[in-house]
Amino acid sequence: MKLLSVKLARSLWYLDTAELNPRGKNLFNDLVPRLIAEYRFKEYPKEGGDFKEGLQFKNGMFKNSAGDEVVVSGTIWADGIGADTYSSTRDSDEFIEKSLGLIHALGYPYDPSMVRRRGYLSQLYVRCEKQLDTLNPRLRDFGNRISSAVGAQSEYGFAAIEFWPDQTKSFKPAVFSLQKQSGEDFSGNRYWAQASLQTEKHLEILNEIESLLLP
């Protein structure tokens, strides 16, 4: 698979954020202004606002370890911290790590052991070098069968592969999906892909799918 662009690279670090502020300090006196100044967020929470969806910081700039400036947004919830970039989950993780270091430098008692687990959401646009329906040669004939049944010059083709997590479980990560990019014809082989994986692992899995396809 060839990566065309990253639609979303989200990292989620789960921890009890109340433990970062055991004395109940007013975050708007030091923490919020420092985060705004450090990352140049264009949108940020205002004191006295409705924080049901967390403290949201949007459209900031973050310099990663490679020296590249990437657009970043972050959210602080009661049970964790999230970051969205459009480059990779590695950058999103790096942003959260650096932000927690900044929080610690301001006198908040952060310790890495507070983080219980991490989660990810990767959404990519990719191009496949092979036709998806070669997964099984009979799929193309079946698409033609549907086209014939519908009539009116319709053209159906095999356009998506999805794996769902067990919906009866309490933990339900995002659906793993590889589907034809909306508005593209079948010959273009351009796809939208989603997985609860780090960006690099997501691409690795997509390449495994491509290896199952026939030339």
Q: What does 137-184 look like in DSSP terms, one character per residue?
A: THHHHHHHHHHHHH-TT------EEEE---TTSS--PPPEEEEEPTT-
DSSP 8-state class, residue 86: S
**Residue of higher predicted confidence among 80 and 154:** 80
| CB within 8 Å of 190: residues ≥ 6 apart | 4, 125, 126, 127, 180, 181, 184
At 48 the pLDDT is 86
Nearest to 181 by CA among 202, 159, 155: 159
Contact 150, 156 (CB under 8 A): yes
Q: Please list, in sequence order, all residues whose beta carbon lies within 8 angstroms of the beta carbon of residue 201, skipping any fewer than 6 positions away.
A: 195
Average pLDDT, the chain: 95
Q: Is the pLDDT of residue 188 over 90?
A: no
Q: Average pLDDT, stretch 48-55?
A: 86
Q: What is the reported pLDDT for 142?
A: 96
Which residue type sits at 80? G
Q: Name the pLDDT band for 215 (thresholds 50, 70, 90).
A: confident
Yes or no: say if 99 and 106 are a contact pair by the CB < 8 Å rule: no
pLDDT value at 67 more than 90: yes
| Rounded CA separation 87/169 (Å) | 31
